Amino acid sequence: MSIKSIEAVLRSDGRVGRVEYWIVNIICIALFSIIMPPSYSAPTWTAWLLVAPIAIYGIHVTIKRAHDRNRSFLFVFLFFIPIVWFWPAIELAFFPRVDKNNAYGTRAH
């Protein structure tokens, strides 16, 4: 991952590609698995306080990836519909960007 990729993931505007999207998701899942307790015990409020910013950041990067596919942020809400969540998951994880320039900005790399 290059410096430009890291900048793109950390900025609040712009778009991110598949590689950055995958890396951020893997890091978020790893952090969730470290912070949250095993399934047989209830998570504490401190665990939820640590997980909430990570989840918000993951949603933020998912919206930026949707913009790379020339989709609105509303496309991300499909993740919350049973069975339908499969469509945005596959599209965002595996399909390439729509083009270099779209309604959500340009992508240099």
76-109 pLDDT tens trace: 999 999 999 999 999 999 998 887 777 777 665 5
Band (17; pLDDT cuts 50, 70, 90):
confident
73-83 pLDDT tens trace: 899 999 999 99
**Distance between start and end Cα atoms, the chain:** 12
Residue 37, pLDDT above cutoff 80: no
Nearest residue to 67 (alpha-carbon basis) of 23, 26, 25, 8: 8
